[in-house]
Amino acid sequence: MDNDLRREIIMDNYNDPMNKGLIDDNSYLKTRTSSESCIDDLSFMMKIENNIIEDIRFDGEACAISTSATSIMIRILIGKTVDEAKKILNNYKNMIEEKDYDKNLLGELAVYDSISKQPNRKNCALLPNRAINNMLEELNKKNN
Amino acid sequence: MHREDFPMLKKDIIYFDNGATTLKPQCVIDSVVEYMTNHTSNIHRGDYDAAVITNKLYDNVRNIVSSFVNCDSREVIYTSGATQSLNMVVFGYMKKHLKKGDEVLLNKAEHASNILPWIILSKQIGIVIKYVPLDNNYELTLENIKRCVTFKTKVISLAQITNVIGDVRDVYNIGKFCHENNILFNVDGAQSVPHMRVDFKNCYMDFLSFSGHKMCGPTGVGILVGRYELLEDMDPLCYGGGMNSYFEENGDYELKSIPTRFEAGTTPIAQVIGLGEAIKYLMKIGMDNIHEHEMKLKQYLLDKVKDIPNIIVYNTSSNSGIFAFNIDGVFAQDTSIYLNSYNIYVRAGNHCAKELKDEINIKNTVRVSMYFYNNYNDVDRLVDALRNSKDIFKIVL
């Protein structure tokens, strides 16, 4: 991907992120995810109905990579089934960790395909991934 | 000053993260290597030649510390760092002597190590934590402390220099006030002891904690200085070898004398020896010279950044080599990653002062923290990088 385009997508999502700001609604799953290795600290909430992700929102302080990745991920995951979401999250993680992945599933998340060149930023890119996985696990526990 | 003593400075780096840890001079490295290479042995248990050398070096570090911060050498306890020292004060002494309703005065600029142990103690025994408000420069004044003191105030606990704002607290007058009012005075010296002359006795301190690695020493070692009469009534947090005189099947036991009873197990011998060497090195340079040099650099930096638009400085008035700032609209971590591309090492974050956000309304800052080996050229390169930061995201993304 062209570097200017990559930067533009990241900056658009950093400056005007999707669904930033939490709401008071107990029907959402909730989690707070802070990075062990840096200072990103974001709170997430997600609503799943009939196995479909209806909404994801977030708030907090994080760097350009974490914030933009969260925004893009939210845009992509809303409307997907839980299984589809898991597949996307898994592929995204594989991309960040330089393993085999299916680019077609990732849309604009592909802007982070070379983040591994900056190893200290991998955790930033993976933060929303961890948060959403946490909430899916919580849902799984509830259902069982 | 003395840049040639530091192997890390042979690389083309600008090291401005001294509040987190400092670089190590060759003499400290040599002392640790010498112990590991030529006289490795445990302390207090060997009769052979190497152990005699080690014992002598190890024990003498208490004398070095005592002349460095003006205390008695038997008041010097080796710990793993300031965090452990502060926890020993809270859970070894305060837990035994404070009771429900007793008030402890803290403030929101403190490091986690001087807040969280108190929060835990308040949950355990019901002490009350009161936060002294900071002034308009986010600094702590004796006047504000006095306003918060009641007949229930038993402890004032503070950092002599805070690690984000970097204000130097007036420990002499605060200590005198504590002394006159029968209040215990607990000082976190992690950011002050490495950078200025600190006087335990003359400032009426009851406890003083600091870390070795923030003052040219190795990691894994720190010091707790405690007034001897208080140490006599402090409980160890760790029990085991090296700290007991005897123990019997029927449960009888006797602990060793002070300070050894607080140093269970094999202590960080190599690190203690390295710390002793570091303190000797700093004393040779002179603590007043170190402080003066850092203040000159800080003023030089403040003068230079004045003309750069979009730089927000949070601590223009503080009297130490700490400079906390943000580039307007840029997350602190992005700024530190940007500066790394110029080989400038700074720290981004809340710097473990997680309650300070309530006072300065910003959670994360970029912190430049100086030491005597920084020079004007370091500052110039930082200023150049900040001047060029208009296109910061072209570099960090």
Q: Which tokens go with B259? A: 């300070």
- Domain encompassing residue A103: 3-143
Say whether B313 sits in a helix, a strand or coil: strand
CB-based burial, B76-111: b 16+ in 10 Å, e otherwise: bbbbbbbbbbbbbbbbbbbbeebeeebbbbbbbbbb
The kind and range of the H/E element at B215 are none
Q: Is B166 left (phi over 0), alpha (psi -120 to 50) or beta?
A: left
Q: Look at residues B251, B284, B317 and tell me which one is the last residue of a structural domain.
A: B284
CA atoms within 13 A on the CB side of B142: 10
Check if the beta carbon of residue B152 is closer than 8 Å to that of residue B101.
yes
The kind and range of the H/E element at B356 are none
Dihedral through CA B199, CA B202, CA B206, CA B207, nearest 10? 0
Q: Look at residues B263, B284, B305 and tell me which one is the last residue of a structural domain.
A: B284
Q: CB count, 10 Å around CB of A117?
A: 8
Q: Which tokens go with A73? A: 């991920």
| The pLDDT of residue A3 | 85
Burial of B75 (0-12, 13-18, 19+ CB in 10 A): buried
B362 shares contact with chain A (CB less than 8 Å): no
- Whether residue A7 and residue B337 make contact (CB cut-off 8 A), yes or no, is no
B8 domain-assigned:
no
* In a shared domain, residues B247 and B378: no
Q: What residue type is B338 in one-letter code?
A: Y
A125 shares contact with chain B (CB less than 8 Å): no
| The pLDDT of residue B192 | 97
Q: Is B178 a catalytic residue?
A: no
A34 shares contact with chain B (CB less than 8 Å): no
Reported as a single tens digit per residue, the pLDDT across B320-339 is: 999 999 999 899 999 999 99
Q: Which residues of A touch B349 (CB under 8 A)?
A: 38-39
Reported as a single tens digit per residue, the pLDDT across A24-56 is: 999 999 999 887 767 888 999 999 999 999 999
Of A6, A38, A118, which is closest to B333 when you measure between CB atoms? A38
Q: Look at residues B253, B284, B315 and tell me which one is the last residue of a structural domain.
A: B284
A120 shares contact with chain B (CB less than 8 Å): yes
Reported as a single tens digit per residue, the pLDDT across B130-153 is: 999 999 888 999 999 999 999 999
Q: What residue type is B297 in one-letter code?
A: L
- Confidence at B394, pLDDT banded by 50, 70, 90: confident
Q: Which residues of B touch A11 (CB under 8 A)?
A: 393, 397
Of A7, A62, A65, which is closest to B394 when you measure between CB atoms? A7
Q: Which tokens go with B126? A: 């019901």
| The pLDDT of residue B383 | 97
Q: How far is B87 from chain A (nearest CA, A)?
A: 23
* In a shared domain, residues B301 and B255: no
> Is pLDDT of A1 > 80?
no
B357 shares contact with chain A (CB less than 8 Å): no
**pLDDT above 90: percentage of residues in chain B:** 87
| B279: phi then psi, degrees, rounded to nearest 5 | -65, -40
B171 domain-assigned:
yes
Q: How far is A49 from chain B (nearest CA, A)?
A: 35
CA-based nearest residue to B84, from B196, B213, B240? B213
Q: What residue type is B278 in one-letter code?
A: A
CA-based nearest residue to B127, from B119, B135, B137? B119
Q: Hey, which residues does B14 pair with through a beta bridge?
A: B344
B14 domain-assigned:
no
- Number of domains chain A is built from: 1
Output the domain CATH number for residue A104. 3.90.1010.10
Residue of B nearest to A11 (CA): B393
Check if the beta carbon of residue B76 is closer than 8 Å to that of residue B262.
no
- Whether residue A61 and residue B364 make contact (CB cut-off 8 A), yes or no, is yes
Task: Answer yes or no: is the ipTM higher than 0.85.
Answer: no
> Measured between alpha carbons, how far is B175 from A111 in angstroms, rounded to an integer?
57
- Number of domains chain B is built from: 2
B344-345 and B253-255 strand pairing: unpaired
- Domain encompassing residue B354: 286-396
Q: What is the DSSP letter of B113?
A: G
* In a shared domain, residues B338 and B200: no
Alpha carbon A15 to chain centroid distance?
Answer: 16
Reported as a single tens digit per residue, the pLDDT across B9-30 is: 999 999 999 999 999 999 999 9
Dihedral through CA A129, CA A131, CA A133, CA A136, nearest 10? -140
